[in-house]
Amino acid sequence: MHRATTDWKSKLHPAFIEMVDANKGMELELSAILEEAKRAEKALSAHATLEQKSQIAKRVIAKRDELVRRLEKEIVDIDTRYKPLSASTLCFPYMTGLGQKDQSAENESRTFFEWLHWGRHRESLQNATEADEQGDVSAWDRIARTARDWRTIIFKKGAIKPFQGGIYHRDIFEFGLSFASGMEKLTGEELAQFFDFYCPCGKETHDARALQKQLARLVKDLEAAARKS
C-alpha cells in the first residue's frame, strides 16, 4: 500500500495536475453514461426494434460529444492561464498535422488514421509508409490493418479490437510527456501515487514497477516516432 502523501505534487506543473483531474472527471462521467445505456438496453424487451436501440446509441454519442467539448474547453482555459506551455519533442510526434491551421476534412481524416495506426502498432504512420516504400512487406501489413480499423469505424461496421495496454495509463503518460509536466521527475512510488489520484481506470493501488516499465517503453516508441526514417 502506498503512503498517503502528496509531496510529489510539488514536482509537477500545476497545469498538468488540473488537466489530468479534468480528464478523470470526464472519463468517469462517460463510464456512468455507458453503464446507463447498458441498463436501458437490458430493460428493452426481446422484441425491441432497431430504432429503439439506435435512439439509445444516439443519446450516448450526444452526451459523449458534449463531454469532449467541455473537456477541450477546460484544457484551453487551463493552458491560457498557465501559458507558455511549450511542447516537448515527444509531443505526439506521430501526428504530422498537429498544430497546423488546416482543419479540412482531409487533414482531420489523416490525423485520425495516424492516431489509429499509432494506437494499434506503436509506430508513426510516416515511418511505416517510408518502410513500405522500401519494400517492407510487414510495414504494408500493418498499414493495411490500420486501414481495416479505419473503414470499420468510418462505415459503422462494428467495434474494432481494443488496442493492447491500458488506454488510460497510456493517454496520461503521452499527455505528460507532451510538455514540461515534471512527470519524469517522479520516482516509481511517486508515479504510482500520482496514478492512484488521477487515473480513471478504477484501480485503488497502482504498481510502481509496471508503470515505470510502461513509461520507458512509451518513451522509446515516441522517440522512434520523432525520428524520421
Q: Which of 172, 198, 157 is nearest to 28 (CA)?
A: 198
* Domain assignments of the chain as residue spans, ordered by start: 7-85+165-226
Amino acid 3: pLDDT: 52
Integer Cα distance of 120 and 149 in angstroms: 9
Query: Distance (Å, rounded) from C-alpha 199 to C-alpha 173?
Result: 11
Judged by DSSP in three states, 28 sits in helix
Rounded to whole angstroms, the Cα distance separating 208 from 8 reads 14
Q: Name the residue type at position 138.
A: S
> According to the model, what pLDDT value does residue 99 have?
67
Q: Please state the pTM of the whole predicted model.
A: 0.86
pLDDT tens sequence for the chain (229 residues): 445 567 899 999 999 999 999 999 999 999 999 999 888 888 887 777 888 888 888 899 899 999 999 999 999 999 999 987 899 999 999 998 876 666 788 888 999 999 999 999 999 999 999 999 999 999 999 999 999 999 999 998 888 999 987 789 999 999 999 999 999 999 999 999 999 999 999 888 999 999 999 999 999 999 999 986 4
Residues 91-108 have pLDDT tens digits of 999 998 876 666 788 888
pLDDT digits over 142-186, tens only? 999 999 999 999 998 888 999 987 789 999 999 999 999 999 999
